[in-house]
Structure 1
Amino acid sequence: MNALILQGRRAVLAAALAAAMPWAQAQSDKPVRLIVPLTTGSTVDTLARALGQPLARALGQPVVVDNLVGAGGVSGTTQLVRAPKDGNTLALVSSNHVINPAIYKTMPFDSLKDITPITVVGTVPLVLVATNTLPVKNLRELVAYAKTHPGQVDYGSAGNGSVLHLAAELLKSEGGIFLTHIPYRGTGPLTTDLIGGQIQLAFLSVTAAAPHVKAGKLRALGVSTTQRSTVLPDVPTLAESGLPNYSFDAWLALIGPAGLSKPLVQKLYQDVRTTLALKEVQDILAAQGIAPVDMSPEKTEPFFKTELAKHGALVQKAGAVKD
């Protein structure tokens, strides 16, 4: 009889703990599926794989990176929003998450209501680079040249509505200049044509541009963020080069499906913070030009809202809406 009473008390205690600590239900041998809605080898994918093992140690669960590519990240994120709300399915997304609602006339989910923002993990500075045939050495010379040669300076991007496209549209707006947009299918052919002189200007990630800048094949005119990049420390920011209001970066964030409990979100956030503090992770991020960010869940949601409005306005101005 005493054994039955003790067993009953244990059951009641376990239920109470589960109610008080709902995140404990996600702590199991079941792997955490970390969806990456972009291609293998992308910056998002590299970060996800860098976080994988150390994050698994912090979570106490295996982490499996799952690349689900399509429609600029929409396909993979669709799988996330349909996942159970137990913390076992997460996604690492890029700025595309807040750009896509402005680009596509219809979306299978709401980029705010159907997710739980957990934390912004890092930002990726971009750098404005020019071919050596363009007769400018810095941003001020570029603005002056573009104003005297309206429409005669071509810039390339990784496609309509891409981060590289919107960074250039902000440059046009802040600089009061007109540049001709040449969209490419990815950064590979874009970089090849830029080095070859088929186009004159483009934004690239600092890690993609750095080898060509150091080899003298491209000329760096300015970094897109308000702080200089450790990858190209001698290159000034666009803000300090004559466009004081210019600030643009690509960012990476961890999200879950809508409805994750606050205690679970806080635990996930703290586990990511612990992981980002590890030297092995910091070294990988530094090599990729990723600047770690410590943004709490309470700040991440309003950040998403601000970024949705900012990028939506840029997409409309650029006319990058797709059917």
Structure 2
Amino acid sequence: MVLRRHLLAATSLLAAPLPLRAQSAWPNGPIRIVVPFPPGGSTDAMARLLQPRLTQELGVPVVVENRGGASGALGTAQVARAAPDGNTWLIVFDTHAVNPALIPSIGFDTQRDLTSLLLFGTAPMVLTAHRTRPYRSLAQVVEAAKARPETVTYGTIGNGSLAHLTMELAQRAGGFRLVHVPYRGGGPLATAAVAGEVDLPIATRPAIGVHIDSGALLPLAQTGATRSPSMPDIPTLAEAGIPGIDARAFWGFLGPAGLPAPIKERMEAAIRKTLDIPEVRQRVIGLGIDLDPQGEAVFAPFVARQMEIWGRVVRENNIRPD
């Protein structure tokens, strides 16, 4: 009788629809975390911090796969087209919310084709001046730019990046004009910044924080509405004289649309447990991220708001990708 019950249960499971069978067996691994950028950036660092702990927590191999290109859109498209079986996930940066407006042929719907599982946290960008430049405040930059329009340069990680869009807003609000110098990612920008190739590098602390700490770059303002806990001594744009801007980079964990609730719940719980480990938590904060994990109920509308805000800036300024 016991054997018969086991056989009936097994037969019922095999006869069940594939999604039900997949979630009953999950995690069955290996699990992929797609990083839609080359190795070395903050999304890659986040993935590799999570990888060993998730492997241990879920009991299956977790691998990190770098799929760079198109400001993260190529790797994201791969996950958007993946089966919702819990074996393919994605870590994104703020370009995730800009790309739909910047790349019309992106090939997927950011809101419909993906599950915004967990927002790790945010971080303002920091507008800095190279130590060889005369600027010690944003007011001095604005004064110089108004006296000599389009002669002062600022550098970002790329055309259409959040830093680029933020500076477009700041220039419009402050009535001054700078020259934009886009680089192809955080690594090239950091190298150019410390070499003094541009007057005003702007990026998140994960990208240029080491050069701020060394004194090579002097922080002038941060782009959040309030001061970041990781940078309490740096004024906001509003405090420096340009109000109305709240521009924060963000990092998040996503999967394909249609994921079964049990899979979403278990993965989110595993990530939150990992982030609660003091060593992991400190390393994430050390990246310059204001860690504040928020689930799908917060993350999904957050992405929608970011898409609306930055999509408008892209359209109004006719910005095109590099």
Q: Are the counterparts in 2 of residues 159 and 185 from structure 1 also a CA contact under 8 Å?
A: yes
Residue 188 (structure 1) shift = 3.8
Deviations 1:32-89 (A, max 9, x none): 1111111111100000000111123333332111111111112111211221111111
Cα–Cα, structure 1 residues 16 and 59, in superposed 2: closer, same or farther, change >3 Å?
Answer: farther
Percent identity of paired positions between Structure 1 and Structure 2: 36
TM-score calculated relative to the size of structure 1: 0.88
Q: Which amino acid aligns with 1:212?
A: H
Q: How does 1:266-277 map to 2 (within 5 A)?
A: 266-277=265-276
SS in 1 for 2:48: helix
Structure 2 distance, partners of 1:193, 1:37, is 23
Structure 2 distance, partners of 1:94, 1:197, is 26
Structure 2 distance, partners of 1:194, 1:68, is 26
Deviations 1:282-323 (A, max 9, x none): 121122112212212112111111111111112223432249
Aligned counterpart, 2:236? 237
TM-score calculated relative to the size of structure 2: 0.88
Q: Are the counterparts in 1 of residues 230 and 290 from structure 2 also a CA contact under 8 Å?
A: no
State yes or no: 1:285 paired with 2:284.
yes
Q: How does 1:33-182 map to 2 (within 5 A)?
A: 33-182=32-181
Aligned counterpart, 2:31? 32
Q: Which amino acid aligns with 1:277?
A: D
Residue 231 (structure 1) shift = 4.8
Q: Which amino acid aligns with 2:110?
A: S
SS in 1 for 2:294: coil
Cα–Cα, structure 1 residues 19 and 132, in superposed 2: closer, same or farther, change >3 Å?
Answer: closer
Residue 253 (structure 1) shift = 0.9
Structure 1 distance, partners of 2:17, 2:58, is 17
Q: Which runs of 5+ in 1 are unaligned?
A: none
Deviates more, 1:193-202 or 1:22-31: 22-31
Deviates more, 1:173-182 or 1:276-285: 173-182
Q: Are the counterparts in 1 of residues 156 and 201 from structure 2 also a CA contact under 8 Å?
A: yes
Structure 1 distance, partners of 2:46, 2:130, is 30
Residue 260 (structure 1) shift = 0.9
Deviations 1:179-199 (A, max 9, x none): 111222233443444444442
Q: Are the counterparts in 2 of residues 168 and 202 from structure 1 also a CA contact under 8 Å?
A: no
Structure 2 distance, partners of 1:19, 1:3, is 26
Deviations 1:122-170 (A, max 9, x none): 2233210012344331123323332333222211222211233223223
Q: Which amino acid aligns with 2:210?
A: P
Q: Which runs of 5+ in 2 are unaligned?
A: none
Structure 2 distance, partners of 1:265, 1:4, is 33
Aligned counterpart, 1:212? 211
Structure 2 distance, partners of 1:231, 1:58, is 29
Cα–Cα, structure 1 residues 118 and 153, in superposed 2: closer, same or farther, change >3 Å?
Answer: same
Cα–Cα, structure 1 residues 279 and 224, in superposed 2: closer, same or farther, change >3 Å?
Answer: same
Deviations 1:68-116 (A, max 9, x none): 1111112111211221111111111111112111111311111111111
Q: Are the counterparts in 1 of residues 121 and 289 from structure 2 also a CA contact under 8 Å?
A: yes
Deviates more, 1:97-106 or 1:34-43: 97-106
Residue 213 (structure 1) shift = 2.7
Deviates more, 1:276-285 or 1:218-227: 218-227
Q: Are the counterparts in 1 of residues 223 and 246 from structure 2 also a CA contact under 8 Å?
A: yes
Q: How does 1:276-315 map to 2 (within 5 A)?
A: 276-315=275-314
Deviates more, 1:248-257 or 1:177-186: 177-186
SS in 2 for 1:124: strand
Residue 220 (structure 1) shift = 0.8
Structure 1 distance, partners of 2:149, 2:36, is 38
Deviates more, 1:61-70 or 1:225-234: 225-234
SS in 1 for 2:64: strand
Structure 1 distance, partners of 2:102, 2:128, is 26
Aligned counterpart, 2:316? 317
